[in-house]
Structure 1
């Protein structure tokens, strides 16, 4: 279905002369990625609305999608696998963060912030991951490294501000999500593309 949608969109661009025939494959791939990402994000939003966890889903997506886009990390072998894995990760990150928030102690709080510091440091040093399947040029890797670091600085600033002003449970969702991103980068570096 994704392939069919991607081919249709690419066909429209070709028929209008917007792109050249020799770029067909890359546009099909780009449209497949775009459609897959949109469907996955919509699924996470729908689930969050059903279970009344919209602010956690938004937090998850803000802490997962931007950094993964430029930092890379583990990729499932199919779009279906990616959809299931991303939805499962979202559910787990939100569930674990809510459970930890309800069990909140000074030790849990300190441990999570330490875990965040370790995760951010690891991502700062390790990102981006150069995929074996879709290797990037050095210029793209350098740009993605800069973008990754900017995203980490923005996330750090926002998390500290939320912690200081609101002390809201979404900070736990952001921390757990960032730890998962670090794990996914580790998996990709160890050979799981």
Structure 2
């Protein structure tokens, strides 16, 4: 349905001579990506309003998407799979933000492991990204900078005794990025650097 809508929109662009017909597939891909991103983020924000977690939702999305964009990691084959997994993960994270007090030590350990994973690997070159060597270096460097900034914010929040649910929310975003990188590696969902 999304693809059909994107194709119809691109057809309109062509009729109005707003684009070169040789770029048709690129435009369709771009429109589909924008719509899917809008649906996913919109759904998450709506759930945040429904569950009165808008502040945690926005914080999680900023931390997670800032890092995820640069680290790569596991990708589902189809958008609907990605959408369902994203919603389930989001709901799980929101639940855990309020209920991980009992396992706080485990969360800190998982954060440490994720920081090491992200620092060492930097970026998983998923076939959808297909980064060349130079793009890969830039992405890895960028991922490490974002990780450093997020860890700095986490340390400051912890030092200032900010509400634990906010601290855990930020930690879980980093942990999730590390986990998705490991999962992509285990499932061999990457373009090897010598192939890039």
TM bucket (normalised to shorter chain) is: 0.7 to 0.9
| Counterpart Cα distance in 1 of 2:99 and 2:107 | 13
Q: Contact 2:122–2:141 (CA<8 Å) still a contact in 1?
A: no
> Could you give the per-residue CA deviations for residues 80-136 of structure 1, whole angstroms, max 9, x where no partner exists?
1111111111111111121114x4xxxx44442332122112112113111235522
Q: What 5-or-longer segments of structure 2 have no aligned partner?
A: 190-196
Q: Would you say how many aligned residue pairs link Structure 1 and Structure 2?
A: 188
Bigger mean CA offset, 130-139 vs 119-128? 130-139
Q: Contact 1:63–1:178 (CA<8 Å) still a contact in 2?
A: yes
Q: Contact 2:63–2:150 (CA<8 Å) still a contact in 1?
A: yes
Instruction: Give me the CA root mean square deviation.
Output: 1.9
| Counterpart Cα distance in 1 of 2:33 and 2:174 | 22
* Structure 1 runs, 4 residues or longer, greater than 6 Å off: none
Bigger mean CA offset, 85-94 vs 26-35? 26-35
Q: Contact 1:75–1:192 (CA<8 Å) still a contact in 2?
A: no
TM-score, normalising length from structure 2?
Answer: 0.86
Bigger mean CA offset, 1-10 vs 47-56? 1-10
The residue that corresponds to 1:55 in the other structure is 55
Matched, 1:172 2:168: yes
Q: What 5-or-longer segments of structure 1 have no aligned partner?
A: none
TM-score, normalising length from structure 1?
Answer: 0.87
